[in-house]
């Protein structure tokens, strides 16, 4: 590690309040999170720009990403990934794939909500998420991380983020630098400060390592958007992809497929066995005699698909052709028998086993990936438990991937002085990114549940007012919360007012005519009497 002055990190840094935490609790371990950052211990007050990750095993992290990308090209894996991406990111011509939901944020004014929404839409435009959202989600799912470089105008940082550029996950690495000090009472090494930064290397050297390279650049963490899968290896040091647990099943499936092809090529043809009588010839003479007979009776005719011609090809694969065996004097004479081909070539149960094992490792229902299965709109009883588990898995993926928009939105709002970092910390748990849903199985399940509630409601209707109250029915049968019950009451009252017929007043002229007609009838009655 080279000594030298502290160098300024590339990129921008957010202005934070310069305050000291007086009640800082000492600890011997650094704070942990799920970003898989490598820890580097700084000794002294000076450290170099190019850091050697001693024991961090960064080479394995780079090789893992390359393995993930290679595995994703396998047909079964690619089909499963497409199923997950199509279910997670739904494109529509009428609306954006994602929306910002601020309904749960209570102390947020309407003007701030409008600014939040405008900046969120601006981020979607810079990411071109409407057009490239599926590709971005697929890249994040395969690599286990997605990285973007946030560009601003340093002369005018209040203008906010001007451009968002993607960074290859192979070329960047997050690092946490730890400074420790000794506790005067116990002598233990206590964590004093933890600084974070990213190391970007445009060209990986032959060892696929970031260390000892002269083209590495340290980037400020505020200038980078770094979203991981949230999964770590067994040592909790490296970020892994959702494809990590599928590495072993895919290798097993490949070996089984290759062995099946080799076995079929070797056992499919029927081969002849020539037992040639060589008499008492010496070994060398017997071999020469065998070769002459093989050349005399062997004439392999093949069809050339490129030229359409038939030619004689004597260079054949011995394992696919006939067998020639010498027979000494005293046994039988020359004999020709037939070796039958394999009889169990159609059995692929072992291939199907590893294929289903691969599907389970990818968390995709097996029925979705089988060619024989067809999508049918049926009752919820026909929906398998795997479909419900798959939908919950999609929801977890969406929740994790939404950090891409929230992290960038936070930096954009702070740069433009719309909010402070303390405001964001108090609101971030209630800010939700909604994804457009297109899961027919979930809709069928909700419709079936609602129908069963209505059936129970119709049976309990006769007991309302005697054993149950309307309030209890709304809570225990329809499962409505307080806000929904209050909203329902207001809407029902409004509908009653609208349903009442308007009171019509009789015109004065008609009343006068009625009175006159009444008087006339009275007079006529008197005259008749």
Query: Which helix or strand (DSSP H or E) is residue 48 part of?
Result: none
Q: Which tens digits make up the pLDDT trace of 396-407?
A: 999 999 999 999
Note the pLDDT of residue 68: 95
**Band of pLDDT at residue 244, cut at 50, 70 and 90:** very high
User: 351: pLDDT confidence band, cut at 50, 70 and 90?
Assistant: confident
**Residue 394 confidence (pLDDT):** 92
pLDDT at 491 over 80: yes
Q: What is the pLDDT of residues 494-505, one digit of tens each?
A: 888 887 776 655
| pLDDT confidence tier of residue 179, bands split at 50, 70 and 90 | confident
User: What residues are paired with 312 via a beta bridge?
Assistant: 301
Strand ranges for 4-136 from DSSP E: 38-41, 98-101
How many angstroms separate the CA atoms of 442 and 396, rounded?
A: 15
Residue 470, judged by CB atoms within 10 A of its CB (0-12, 13-18, 19+), counts as: exposed
CB 364 within 8 A of CB 389: no
Q: What is the separation, in whole angstroms, between the first and last Cα of the chain?
A: 131
Place of tokens 């929906």: 383
**Residue ranges covered by each domain of the chain:** 38-243+392-435, 269-339
pLDDT tens, 35-92?
A: 666 656 554 433 444 344 333 444 577 889 999 999 999 998 999 999 999 989 987 7
Tell me: pLDDT of 192 over 60.
Answer: yes
Interstrand relation of 172-182 and 38-41 (parallel, antiparallel or unpaired): parallel
In DSSP terms, which residues pair with 461 in a beta bridge?
Answer: none
Q: How many residues does the chain have?
A: 529
Phi, psi (deg, nearest 5) at residue 61: -65, -40
- Among 32-36, 389-393, 517-521, name the one with the lowest average pLDDT: 517-521
CA distances from 11 to 46, 126, 277, 483 (A): 21, 18, 86, 47
Whether residue 339 contacts residue 323, with contact meaning beta carbons closer than 8 Å, is answered with: yes
Q: Does the pLDDT of residue 510 top 60, yes or no?
A: no
The per-residue pLDDT for 465 is 85
Residue scoring higher pLDDT (137 or 492): 137
Residue 178: is its pLDDT beyond 80?
A: yes
Looking at every residue in the chain, the average pLDDT score rounds to: 78
Q: Burial code of 318-348, b = ≥16 C-beta within 10 A, e = fewer?
A: eeeebebebbeeeeeeeeeeeeeeeeeeeee
β-pair partners for 339: 271
- Phi, psi for residue 376 in degrees, rounded to 5: -130, 140
pTM: 0.72
State what percent of residues in the chain have pLDDT above 70: 71
Concatenated DSSP letters for 286-317? HHHHHHHHHHHH---EEE-TTT--EEE-----
* Ranges assigned E (strand) in 359-492: 432-435
- In whole angstroms, what is the distance from residue 299 CA to residue 320 CA? 15
**Which tops the pLDDT comparison, 42 or 432?**
432
Q: 3-class DSSP state for residue 218?
A: strand
Classify burial at 190, counting beta carbons within 10 Å of its beta carbon; exposed 0-12, middle 13-18, buried 19 or more.
Answer: middle
Q: Which of 323, 349, 327 is nearest to 338 (CA)?
A: 323
Using only C-alpha atoms, what is the Rg of the chain? 39
Does the pLDDT at position 434 exceed 60? yes
Q: What is the pLDDT of residue 2?
A: 40
């Amino acid at each position: 590690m080279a000594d030298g002055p502290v160098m300024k990190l590339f990129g921008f840094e957010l202005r934070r309040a310069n305050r000291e935490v007086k009640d800082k609790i000492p600890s011997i371990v650094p704070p942990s999170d799920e970003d898989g950052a490598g820890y580097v211990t700084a000794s002294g007050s000076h450290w170099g720009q190019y850091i050697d990750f001693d024991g961090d095993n960064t080479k394995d992290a780079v090789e893992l990403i390359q393995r993930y990308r290679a595995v994703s090209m396998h047909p079964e894996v690619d089909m499963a990934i497409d199923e997950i991406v199509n279910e997670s990111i739904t494109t529509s011509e009428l609306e954006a794939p994602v929306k910002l939901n601020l309904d749960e944020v209570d102390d947020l004014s309407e003007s701030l909500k409008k600014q939040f929404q405008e900046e969120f839409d601006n981020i979607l435009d810079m990411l071109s998420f409407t057009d490239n959202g599926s590709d971005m989600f697929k890249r994040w799912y395969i690599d286990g991380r997605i990285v973007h470089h946030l560009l601003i105008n340093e002369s005018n940082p209040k203008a906010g983020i001007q451009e968002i550029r993607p960074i290859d996950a192979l070329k960047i690495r997050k690092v946490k630098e730890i400074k420790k000090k000794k506790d005067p009472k116990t002598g233990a090494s206590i964590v004093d400060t933890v600084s974070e930064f990213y190391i970007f290397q445009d060209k990986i050297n032959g060892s696929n390592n970031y260390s000892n390279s002269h083209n590495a650049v340290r980037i400020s963490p505020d200038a980078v958007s770094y979203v991981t899968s949230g999964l770590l290896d067994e040592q909790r040091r490296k970020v892994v992809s959702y494809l990590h647990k599928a590495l072993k099943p895919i290798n097993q499936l490949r070996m089984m497929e290759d062995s099946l092809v080799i076995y079929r090529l070797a056992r499919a043809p029927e081969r002849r066995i020539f037992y040639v009588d060589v008499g008492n010839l010496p070994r060398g003479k017997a071999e020469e005699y065998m070769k002459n007979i093989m050349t005399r009776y062997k004439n392999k005719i093949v069809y050339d698909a490129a030229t359409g011609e038939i030619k004689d090809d004597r260079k054949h694969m011995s394992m696919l052709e006939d067998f020639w065996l010498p027979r000494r004097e005293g046994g039988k004479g020359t004999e020709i028998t037939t070796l039958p081909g394999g009889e169990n070539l159609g059995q692929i149960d072992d291939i199907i086993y590893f294929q289903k094992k691969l599907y389970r490792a990818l968390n995709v229902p097996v029925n979705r990936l089988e060619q024989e299965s067809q999508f049918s709109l049926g009752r919820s009883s026909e929906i398998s438990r795997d479909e419900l588990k798959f939908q919950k898995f999609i929801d977890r993926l969406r929740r994790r991937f939404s950090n891409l928009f929230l992290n960038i939105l936070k930096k954009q709002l702070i740069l433009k002085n719309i909010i402070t970092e303390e405001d964001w910390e108090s609101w971030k748990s209630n800010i939700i990114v909604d994804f457009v849903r297109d899961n027919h199985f979930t809709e069928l399940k909700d419709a079936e549940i609602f129908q069963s509630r209505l059936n129970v409601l119709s049976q309990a209707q006769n007991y309302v007012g005697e054993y149950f109250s309307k309030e209890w029915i709304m809570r225990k049968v329809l499962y409505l919360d307080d806000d929904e019950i209050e909203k329902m009451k207001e809407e029902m009252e409004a509908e009653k007012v609208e349903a009442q017929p308007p009171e019509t007043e009789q015109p004065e002229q008609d009343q006068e005519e009625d009175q006159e007609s009444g008087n006339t009838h009275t007079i006529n009655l008197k005259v008749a009497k």
